[in-house]
Each structure stands twice: as C-alpha cells, then as structure tokens.
Amino acid sequence: ISFGMIPISAITIYAVVLEREKRIKQQEILSGISPLVYWLSRCAVDYSLYSVTLIGITALVSFLNIIGLCGDHLPGSVVLFLFFGLSINPFIYVHTFFFNNANSATTSVLLIHSLTSIGLYIAFVCSKVPDLGISDEVAKSIEYVGYLFPNFNLLGGLYKLGVSEALCSNLEKINND
C-alpha cells in the first residue's frame, strides 16, 4: 500500500514544479493573486485529488477484506490514510523548491520516497533484532529520522494496525477456549 502512495507524491510535485517551470505561478501573481491564495488553491486541488484516492483505497481495503485494515480496524485505517494525505502534500511542497525541472523532480521524489518508505523501515525493523547487536541509540536514531518522512509513518501505522488485529484475534481465541 505504501508503494502505491508514491505516485501520488510524484503527480503532486510534477504539477507544482511544472507551473514554476512554465512561469504559470508568476503570471498568476502578476495578475494580482497573492502567494497565500495560490498555495491555498493548490492545497485544495491536491487534497481533492487525494480524497478520490482515499475513497478508492477505503473501498479496495473493504472489498478485498484486508486483515488488519478492515472490519473493526477500518476507521483506524481511514484515519491513518487521511493523516498521510495531510502530511504528504506539505512534505512535497517543500521538495518543489529544490527543482527547476518537473521531470527530474518527479524522478527524484519517486526515488526518495521509495528509499524512505522501504529502506528506512527495513533498517528500523532490523535494528530491533537483538541478534544483530545494534545499539539502542542507533535504533532510536533510525526511528527518529524515519519520523520525518510520511511514508515511514504510513508503514509504521499499517504495521501497528496489523499487530493490533493479530492481538485481537489471539485474545478472542483465548477467551473462547
């Protein structure tokens, strides 16, 4: 699911950098639109596009009956995806200031988000394995760096929802016995 969210980031950064590349943003500001109105309208467009994605993800999770994300945990997964959408767009907007070419921005964001969502989370999980001998300070450092990235937080939330489902089902089995 986390990999499926990466193209949304790429679409967002492509549109914003393309507007700057083609000088559309400057034309709007010269027309009298304040930067605040520009960014608020940009946010409204991006969040409306993300809301379509959110509805699609929720329907897909419910239809496929994904364990840990549907049933009693559906409200938690919806809140997780909602907050991911609220955090990813500002994160992408910060990235837009580093690029002048929309294609390079898209490629870089795809690479950065792929590495942070999977790479950092794998490093975080591996740092929790006692046999590897990684100190608690290193594990905490990886965790704190990961918290800066929305994709890392999405994976962490999905993991916690899955663990919660496993605990609930095990407790039900114990109570039934």
What does the block give as tokens for 149?
Answer: 């990235």
Q: Which two tokens stand for residue 84?
A: 């991911």
Of 79, 92, 95, 5, nearest to 45 (Cα)? Answer: 92
Residue 56 burial (CB < 10 Å; 0-12/13-18/19+)?
exposed
> Distance between CA 35 and CA 147 in Å, rounded?
29
In sequence order, the 6+-apart residues with CB closer than 8 A to the CB of 86 are 47
What pLDDT tens digit does each residue of the chain (177 aa) get? 777 788 888 888 898 899 888 988 888 888 888 888 888 998 999 999 888 988 988 888 888 888 777 777 788 888 988 999 888 888 888 888 899 999 999 999 888 888 777 788 788 878 877 777 777 788 788 888 888 888 888 888 888 887 777 777 777 777 776
Instruction: Give pLDDT, residue 71.
Output: 77
What confidence score (pLDDT) does residue 104 get?
92
> Residue 169's pLDDT is what?
72
**Predicted structure pTM score:** 0.79
Q: Residue 8: which residues within 8 A CB-CB, separation 6 or more?
A: 49, 50, 53, 88
What HEC string does the chain produce?
CHHHHHHHHHHHHHHHHHHHHCCHHHHHHHCCCCHHHHHHHHHHHHHHHHHHHHHHHHHHHHHHCCCCCCHHHHHHHHHHHHHHHHHHHHHHHHHHCCCCCHHHHHHHHHHHHHHHHHHHHHHHHHHCCHHHCCCHHHHHHHHHHHCCCHHHHHHHHHHHHHHHHHHHHHHHHHHHC
